[in-house]
Amino acid sequence: MGKRTPLYDMHISQGARMVDFGGWDMPINYGSQIQEHNTVRSDAGMFDVSHMTVVDLTGDKVREFLRYLLANNVDRLKDKGKALYSCMLNEKGGVIDDLIVYYVDDTFFRMVVNSSTREKDLAWIKKHAANFDVKVNVRDDLTMIAVQGPNAREKTHLALGSETAEQLKDTAVFFIKFVNDSNMGEIAIARTGYTGEDGYEIMLPKEHASTFWAKLAEQEVVPCGLGARDTLRLEAGMNLYGSDMDETVTPLEAALGWTVAWEPEERDFIGRQVLEQQRQQGVENKLVGLVLEDKGVLRNHQKIFIDGLEGGEITSGSYSPTVGKAIAFARVAANIGNTCKVEIRGKQLTAAVVKPPFARNGKSCI
């Protein structure tokens, strides 16, 4: 038996099909993954993401610490509450994890990291935090629920009630707000997500998780599993740690160059030296988007052929409900052209090379 989130019984009662996900028993779907996917693109769906790790970092030198720890630069965060997406690299420039960091105030940043990388992340963060007198507090007392879709915010406001909703009204995209709820106490609500739709990620005390989930369900927010979460993020052009990048590749080989802050030049962050070299010499491999032109489904680890030669592999592949075709990310030789071949069960099928996202805000971009 795997670890259970506070919403486990809720999932079972809603008919979820449960799977093991990095040691956690998580819902893969509640019947139809495609319906859940489409609901998020057209209305509102909710995901139990409480397996992810919330880490609070506090101390006078917390900003200085994060300037060193992360490849993106927290000095881009000027306004309190603003979030930043970044990779955390090892000395070789390999990706230890990707994460979101929220600037709460000058001595307090909140970070959300992946669940599969939890132990190594925490060890790495604590090791470096010690040099900056930064306190690392893992918030296992919190549950995280993501509500995503064009109607997600409105329905969340109704589920929370007008008093709490009033405090959230002017939350801008990619900002977090800490609010006081008369039932749940302090909750943190961020206008972030992993679907390419508007919505919230809500961090609330564990003991209120089921009640709040039920209140969202009353507003007809549809429960969605990890299956839909994966096809939504893939369509939205968002990488998945462990599939699209890991410690053997740098952000530049994972289509994450945009998350590396090169300026100011004097900022020293872990992995910078290797990235600088790679930036000058150019990368051999890069991550691209593929759309299969023939019929079939793209899957992880299928081989890519460029001009008859093997030249890469799919890192995340699936059927895209929004586009109506198979789509993928593939790590390929940097000289790839506009098309390539993908080997599926011994046949070579044609795929177009595209720049993700494939779909966002309810619509196909292809």
Partner 1 sequence: MSEIPQDLRYTKTHEWVMQNDEGTLTVGITDHAQALLGDLVFIEAPEEGTTFQEGDDSAVVESVKAASDVYAPVDGEVTASNEALSDSPEIINSDPYGDGWIYKIKPEDAGAFDTLMDADAYREMVEEEEH
Helix (H, G, I), strand (E, B) or coil at 18: strand
Cα(104)–Cα(153) distance, integer angstroms? 21
212 phi, psi to nearest 5 deg: -70, -40
Residue 67 or 341 with smaller CB distance to partner 1 = 341
Helix (H) or strand (E) holding 199: strand 199-205
Of residues 71 and 326, the one with the C-beta less far from partner 1: 326
- CB of residue 215 to partner 1, shortest distance in Å: 28
Cα separation, 284 vs 282, whole angstroms = 7
CB 27 → partner 1: shortest distance, Å? 12
* Cβ 297 to partner 1 shortest distance, Å: 5
Shortest CB 72 distance to partner 1, Å: 32
N- to C-terminal Cα separation, the chain:
42
Q: Measure CA 322 to chain center.
A: 19
Least distance from partner 1 to the Cβ atom of residue 34, Å: 4
Please identify, using beta-carbon distances, which residue of 117 and 320 lies nearer to partner 1: 320
Q: Which residues face 305 on adjacent strands?
A: 310, 341
In the complex with partner 1, which residue's Cβ is closer, 107 or 348? 348
Please state whether the peptide bond connecting residue 264 to the residue before it is cis, i.e. omega within 30 degrees of 0: yes
Secondary structure of residue 300 in the 3-state scheme: coil
User: CB-based contacts of 44: which residues, under 8 Å, 6+ apart?
Assistant: 147, 148, 149, 150, 151, 152, 154, 155, 199, 219, 220, 221, 222
Q: Which is nearer to partner 1, 289 or 317 (CB)?
A: 317
Phi, psi for residue 320 in degrees, rounded to 5: -100, 110
Given the complex with partner 1, which of 84 and 326 has the nearer CB atom? Answer: 326
State in angstroms the smallest separation of the CB of 148 from partner 1.
18
Decide whether 6 or 227 has the Cβ nearer to partner 1: 227
User: Nearest CA to 340 among 297, 311, 301?
Assistant: 311
**Distance in Å, CB of 6 to partner 1, minimum:** 26
In the complex, the residues that contact partner 1 under the rule CB under 8 A are 28-29, 32-35, 227, 231, 295-297, 299, 318-319, 321, 326, 345
